[in-house]
Structure 1
Amino acid sequence: MKDREKQLVFNGPYGDSCYLYVDYKKSLGYKFGESSLYSLRYMDDFFKKYSIGIPFLTKEMAEDYTAKRGNESAKTQHTRMSLIRQFAIFMNNTGYVFYVHPKELIPIVKKFTPYIFTRDEINSILKVVDNLAATPWSIHYHLIYPMLFRMLYCCGLRINEALSLKNSDVDVKNGILTVTKAKLNTSRLVPMSKSLTDYCKIYVMKMGLDMNSTGYFYPSRDQGKYNRNPVYVKLKQFMKEANIFTDGSVGPRVHDLRHTFSVHSLEKMVADGQDIYCALPVLSTYLGHRGIESTEGYLRLTQEAYAGIINLMSPLYESVFPEVTFIEEQ
């Protein structure tokens, strides 16, 4: 574990098993970040009130832990129920006797509806970032954001995939990105368009990057990995300047650029006459999904704008497009 994670001590009745559970989840490719670690520690601490020797979990104990508390949201309760259920399954697989909270009793949480940018909106955002000025606290600020947002939209990368790119992962000669250790520990090659490849070459020249090095393609001030949190903040700022959303509204997310790439790409493939039966698996592979089911969740198509695609795909995926309930983690 990282040093920050080592400081998070599990000293409840399931403490030793919690460490093993974290390692198990990570072995499957899940990030299991700081918030998940704190949730797991809270669960471990909760059961300190029970006299437990050899770890076990009864139905009554599980219901005590999962009971709704005050005015908490369904999402908060959903997270707690999901955690105790997954942990119980893990413990049963390692030889203990744990009650497994029924999946059907976990409340359904309404997912965030993805925002699909129009091409005019994408162009407006790019116009804003192309006119950024250098700042004293970040001398490469005005170079990084135009490159980053073009790559997110044109390649459909997850934000962490883009920011984790090393110079050696970006083949500017052949126009190919090598995305390593992506979600679920998968890796893939991502071809870039000629125009994006040409833009990469200009970016590399202006940044003075050594493309044979292991340095980051989007370096921070200390040459480490660029932090994704400022990217979230800056996107809102750029969208406001582009008149896409106003103060007080939630507004689109960085991850919605990936959704937008998916929709626009499928639209183009269909317009080019590609068979829809072939287009969706191709898009799924490009995005790094294990199956087309995940890609389906990305395709929030409106009848007005994408009626042609919906009509072609409705015999196969009639239930997919009216409303999306699946949103991938960033």
Structure 2
Amino acid sequence: MSPLHRQLEEYLAIRRAMGFKMERHEKLLGQFADYLAAHAVQALTTEHALAWATSPHQGDPRWWAARLSMVRGFAVHLHALDPAHQVPPRGLIPHGPRRTVPHLYTDREIAALVRAAGALSFPLRAATYQTLVRLLAATGMRVGEAIRLDRADWDADLEVLTVRDTKFGKSRQLPLHPTSTTGLQDYLRLRDRLSPSPSSSALLLSTRGHRLRYERVWDTFHRLVGQAELTPTAPASPPRIHDLRHSFAVATLLDWYRNGADVQAMLPRLSTYLGHADPKHTYWYLSAAPELLALAADRLDAHQKDPR
């Protein structure tokens, strides 16, 4: 093990002690340490960090920037131990605004994605991706949370999913709608028949009985979008898998406004369901759809006219 690999282990241990999961960091920074070892690099340099982050050269600048951001955190740690290590400056890779305008899926588009998933090769793979799309659309879970679900996290009697050790180190319970419960139970019966002895405890299984991998899920979903012939609602807003979470949040808020609910009082519930650390992070969804802003403005106008 090279000195940089040992220092990486120390860095990951420190970050995890602070409450960060560091799963993707461990994988990618491990690849970066391998790259440095292969080039016999003793001290991290901006040049090497940039060369690694921007490979492959036909990649997405946003992905390059994310990789370089992970390296930068590690570099700050190394620089504190030895100034010979360079810290890549911020903004080295231009990649547009931090917030991408989400694609808000319609019910018809979600149904098209489910149909496209049903056409995937192998029955278990098709059923798994149909269930994944439906769960993300019905619960607003993060993709990583859905992948990490274990079979034991589903309580069929209570019709509740338990999402454990989330982004902020907390767990939460998600009651499912009866239609979602029925769909999940149907999937579990099918997967138990097709994969009676899986090698993983995961709820959602690959064809070989393993837990789904994030990179493979992202790639498959991208192909499903094309097969479903979905089109961006804006030039810079291609349909992404994470946008199912945005769509769930916006649809929930729209329903509350249309039904006259006290959105201000209800928002903390949505924040808890989504797994946000603070309700203020949920307020961002108010700006995600013009219709939401219009309804909020109408509600404010009515309140000002009748302040009782």
Q: Same fold (TM over 0.5)?
A: yes
Q: Distance in 1 between matches of 2:224 and 2:34?
A: 38
> Which position in structure 2 is the counterpart of 1:195?
179
Report the CA distance between 1:157 and its aligned residue: 1.2
Question: Helix, strand or coil for the counterpart of 1:190?
Answer: strand
Q: What is the identity, as a one-letter code, of the residue corresponding to 2:15?
A: K
Deviations 1:172-212 (A, max 9, x none): 222110111222332111111111112222222333378xx
Partner of 1:181: 165
- Describe the shift of the 1:282–1:11 C-alpha distance in structure 2 as closer, same or farther (beyond 3 A): same
**Would the alpha carbon gap of residues 113 and 160 (structure 1) be closer, same or farther in structure 2, given more than 3 Å must change?**
same
Distance 2:46 2:213 in 1: 39
Q: 1:174 to 1:42 in 2, by over 3 A?
A: same
Superposed CA offset, 1:229-256 (max 9, x none) = 343233233333332139xx98311111
* Residue correspondences, number: 281
Distance in 1, matches of 2:73 and 2:190, equals 51
Matches for 1:161-176 after TM superposition, within 5 Å: 161-176=145-160
Within the candidate set 114, 118, 121, 2:102 is matched to 114
What is the alpha-carbon root mean square deviation over aligned residues? 4.2
Cα 1:262–1:40, aligned 2, differ >3 Å: closer, same or farther? farther
1:280-322 residue CA offsets vs partner (Å, 9 max, x unmatched) = 211111111111233334555232x33334427999xxxxxxx
Q: Note if contact 1:216-1:225 (Cα within 8 Å) is conserved in structure 2.
A: yes
Task: State the SS of the aligned residue for 2:22.
Answer: coil
For 2:38 and 2:65, the matched residues in 1 are separated by: 17
- Rounded to whole Å, the distance in 2 between the matches of 1:65 and 1:221 is 38
1:19 and 2:9 are equivalent in the alignment: yes
More helix by percentage: 2
Deviation, structure 1 residue 85:
5.6
* 3-state SS of 2:173 partner: strand
Change over 3 Å in CA distance of 1:251–1:43 after alignment to 2? same
Instruction: Name the counterpart of 2:211.
Output: 225
Q: State the alpha-carbon separation in 1 of the partners of residues 268 and 16 from structure 2.
A: 27
CA distance in 1, matches of 2:266, 2:161: 21
Cα distance in 1 for residues equivalent to 2:242 and 2:66: 22
1:127-146 pair list within 5 angstroms: 127-129=115-117, 132-133=118-119, 135=121, 138-146=122-130
AA at the equivalent of 1:279: M
Q: How do 1:167-316 and structure 2 match up within 5 A?
A: 167-208=151-192, 215-245=201-231, 251-298=238-285, 300-303=287-290, 305-311=291-297
1:282 alignment partner AA: R
Q: Which runs of 5+ in 2 are unaligned?
A: 302-308
Task: State the match for 2:304 in structure 1.
Answer: none
SS of the residue aligned with 2:103? Answer: coil
Q: For residues 311 and 25 of structure 1, do their structure 2 counterparts lie closer, same or farther at Cα, with a shift above 3 Å needed? A: same
Please say if residues 12 and 22 of structure 2, whose CA atoms lie closer than 8 Å, have aligned partners that are also in contact.
no
Hey, what's the Cα distance between the residues in 2 that align with 1:63 and 1:236?
A: 32
* Deviation readout 1:66-94 (Å, 9 max, x if unpaired): 999xx9969857864774466536875xx
What secondary structure, in the 3-state scheme, does the structure 1 residue paired with 2:168 have? helix
Structure 1, unaligned runs of 5 or more = 1-8, 51-60, 316-330
2:286, 2:293 within 8 Å by CA — same for their partners in 1? no
1:276 offset after TM fit, Å? 2.1
TM-score where L is the length of structure 2: 0.71
Give the letter aligned to residue 229 of structure 1.
E
Change (3 A) 1:236 1:37: same
Question: TM-score, normalized by length of structure 1?
Answer: 0.67
Rounded to whole Å, the distance in 2 between the matches of 1:113 and 1:187 is 28
Aligned partners of 1:176 and 1:192 also within 8 Å: yes
Q: 1:30 aligns with which of 22, 36, 49?
A: 22
